[in-house]
Amino acid sequence: MSRIDDIYDWFDSRFGLGAAQSFLGKAFPAEDSFLLGEVALFCFGLLVASGTFLGFFYEPSTTATQYQGSVMQYQGEEMPAAFVSVLQITYDVPFGMLIRRMHHWAAHLFIASIALHMLRVFFTGAYRNPREPNWLVGLGLAGLSMGAAYTGYSLPFDEFASTAVGIGYNVTLSIPIFGEWLSNVAFGGSFPSSSTIPRLYFFHVVLIPLAIAGLLAVHMAILVRQKHTEAARDEDVQGRETVDADDGTVIVGLPAVPNQAAVSAVVFFLTLATLSLLSGFLPVHNIAEYGPNNPASTPELIMPDWFLMWGYGFLKLVPSWLSFDLLGIHFSAEFIGGLLLPGIVFGVVALWPFIDSSSEQVHFTADPTERPWQTAVGMAGITFIMAASIAGMDVVLSDVVGMSTAALRPYLIGLVVGAPVLIGFATFAVLGGFGSDPPTEGTATTDGGERKTEDEE
């Protein structure tokens, strides 16, 4: 018996590793698009790791501090401690610039991979019975991830980012009845006060990451319990035992350990390599150029990050005359554009598994080309978000087309309303939705019935 066997036996006698082995044999469908969720997972891990490094040097305070560092233009100047510390991280802390960039690009890849993962789940109908709860947990994760990015954006306290973050303050303040209280809780008083940065820092490094970690644990626990969906099988699967093509009670795929673990390791290192490459070559938000927050001035161009641009677009499109009073409560255009409309979008996404519902359990992924109306709604939704994002960039667009933003607004409203309808109908038509004999979903929606639990398999 080798030494390794001895060590294994020692642990086995203490922890009963034999039982864990059947768990580690959990089957993973060998579908590349299923790896998008893993990319998001790895990005979260890398965000925590790089954020921990930054936490050792970042100062969550706006107290005036004298800058002593490599950036000559600020040498000896008194500036907010938060801004000074990020300058130091970027130019004086060894590896600081690399890790700051890594954190930045990991945040962007995190949100991009979440969005793509969500689209994969949407277009393959993987949200249907019994996975509606995990769709809702996932949506919570998407919202929290945007919250993490938003609060992180504010931390360097430079002129550009803090002005953009101020938009969020005004939107919070515009909430009927609770606005003032909520903005006090979220921003520590009027924006920016001396409590704003410590408050947003607390959200960014404690509250939101813990909430994400908690929801991730729930997301993964539900996944392990319900198992993945699986691509429809063309024919019976031959293995240790034969599995019928339409038998949804048995999942066919790679065992978690060692096969899927090896695939996941490759995905992890590819994620790390991509982020290293981006961090090595692409600079991030240049705070030395923008300078520290200056309440007396407003930068010419204010824009949020790309993933919040659609919400910013709503803010730009809702005209001020749309404000109204109801039962003595004021509903401002800012509230309608900044919170009500994005809230409705989130609400519709949350309700979607109950709109395209299925009374029977579905364990096989659907082919989007065989689901004309669902795919059309998805395409219309993507177009809507993209059009609203273009509206958020109206200032840039007005420069390009040589029109004022006010003159541009009716066209942008037309784009946001018209383009999704057009794309939705076109998708529906191309997929044969108007035909007399609508396509069926074939084996893709075969009822899986009760799936076996791990120990039954």
Using CB under 6 A, which of the segments 33-41, 231-239, 255-263, 386-394 binds ligand HEM?
33-41
| Closer residue to ligand HEM (CB): 37 or 304 | 37
* Per CB under 6 A, 231 contacts ligand HEM: no
- Cβ at position 141, least distance to ligand HEM in Å: 4
Helices (DSSP H) in 174-260: which residue ranges? 179-187, 196-202, 208-226
Candidate residues 131, 199, 204, 371; the one interacting with ligand HEM per rule CB under 6 A: 131
Strand spans (E) along 299-390: 324-326, 329-331
- Contact segment (CB under 6 A) with ligand HEM among 130-138, 244-252, 399-407, 441-449 equals 130-138
- By CB under 6 A, how many residues form the interface with ligand HEM? 26
DSSP state for residue 59 in the 8-state scheme: -
Among 27, 106, 121, 200, binds ligand HEM (CB under 6 A): 121
Look-up of token digits 């993945």: 228
- Residue whose C-beta lies closest to ligand HEM: 138
Does 83 engage in binding with ligand HEM (CB under 6 A)?
Answer: no
Q: Which stretch binds ligand HEM (CB under 6 A): 73-81, 97-105, 123-131, 324-332?
A: 123-131
Query: Does residue 65 sit in helix, strand or coil?
Result: strand
Q: How many CB atoms lie within 10 A of CB 358?
A: 15
Which of 1-9, 83-91, 201-209, 215-223 is the region at the interface with ligand HEM (rule: CB under 6 A)? 215-223
What CA–CA distance (Å, rounded) separates 132 from 13? 40
Give the nearer residue to ligand HEM in terms of CB position, either 49 or 182: 49
Helix (H, G, I), strand (E, B) or coil at 320: helix
Report the distance separating Cα 305 and Cα 215, nearest Å: 24
Q: How far is the CB of 351 from ligand HEM (least distance, A)?
A: 12
Q: How far is the CB of 40 from ligand HEM (least distance, A)?
A: 4
Phi-psi region of 371 (alpha: psi -120 to 50; beta: other; left: phi over 0): beta
> CB-based burial of residue 30 (10 Å sphere; 0-12 exposed, 13-18 middle, 19+ buried)?
middle
CA distance 261 to 24: 10
Q: Does 48 bind ligand HEM (CB under 6 A)?
A: no
117 binds ligand HEM (CB under 6 A): yes
* Spatial separation of the C-alpha atoms in residues 218 and 224, rounded to whole Å: 10
Q: How far apart are CA 110 and CA 38, in angstroms?
A: 10
Which is closer to ligand HEM, CB of 61 or CB of 264? Answer: 264
Q: Report the interface residues with ligand HEM, using CB under 6 A.
A: 34, 36-38, 40-41, 44, 114, 117-118, 121, 126-127, 131, 134-135, 138-139, 141-142, 145, 216, 219, 223, 228-229
